[in-house]
A = this chain, B = another copy of it.
Amino acid sequence: MYNQLAQFIRDKVSISEEELDSILPFFKMISVKKNEFLVSHGELGHQLYFVDKGCLRIFFINEEGQESTRHLAFENHLAGAVISFITNIAALEYVQVLEDSQLLYIERKDFFYLLEKYPIWEKFYRHYLEYAYVTNTNRLMSFVTMDAKTRYENLLKERPIVVKRLPNKVVASFLNISQETLSRLKSKK
């Protein structure tokens, strides 16, 4: 059950099998049904989730009550309400399962215990944070520098899985456009 997670970690850092054997059991498997929430606005995001199978989305709700999807995590990605996980302050965002999913989760206290105990876990976390920083900053840049059409075309090029696998409602909220605009963009392709 740990094969994919072990490979995900090995891809980021040079880790011994002994260290892996000590770290992996801190992750526990759960099966979660489509549409269930793992974290809601106002709760602590005290877990990180590795997607073994399925899909997670992290979203928040804007002043007009509309959903805006910040992040989508498919298989072999680690995700969660990361700001809350880092700061230990109640989340402003929601973590929802979009398909029936198998996840491996780790508790915040265990994660931070591992950081103290294993320098290699500190290095792994650094690589994860670098990735998360680059991903989010590029998204921030796309929102303020690109129009809807360019954002949609980039998504098709860089992450076609999002458009292929998820309903229009989610894709539109990920691009931060209305479903009508998305339909118009799709019909033009």
Name the residue of chain B whose CB is nearest to the CB of A85: B130
* Neighbour of A70 across the interface among B86, B87, B134, B140, CB < 8 A: B140
Chain B positions within 8 Å of A60 at CB level: 141, 144-145
Q: 1/0 per residue A60-80: CB within 8 Å of B?
A: 111100001010000000000
Pair A143/B143 contact, Cβ less than 8 Å: yes
Tallying the copies of this chain within the complex gives 2
Is A166 interfacial (CB 8 A cutoff)? Answer: no
Of A24-32, A49-57, A97-105, A117-125, the one with at least 4 CB within 8 A of chain B: A117-125
Top 9 nearest A-B pairs (CB, nearest first) are A62-B145, A129-B129, A140-B140, A68-B144, A86-B130, A133-B133, A119-B119, A136-B137, A122-B122
Sample 16 A-B pairs with CB under 8 A, ordered by A number. A61-B145, A62-B145, A63-B146, A68-B145, A70-B140, A83-B133, A83-B134, A86-B133, A87-B134, A119-B122, A122-B126, A125-B126, A126-B129, A136-B136, A140-B140, A143-B143
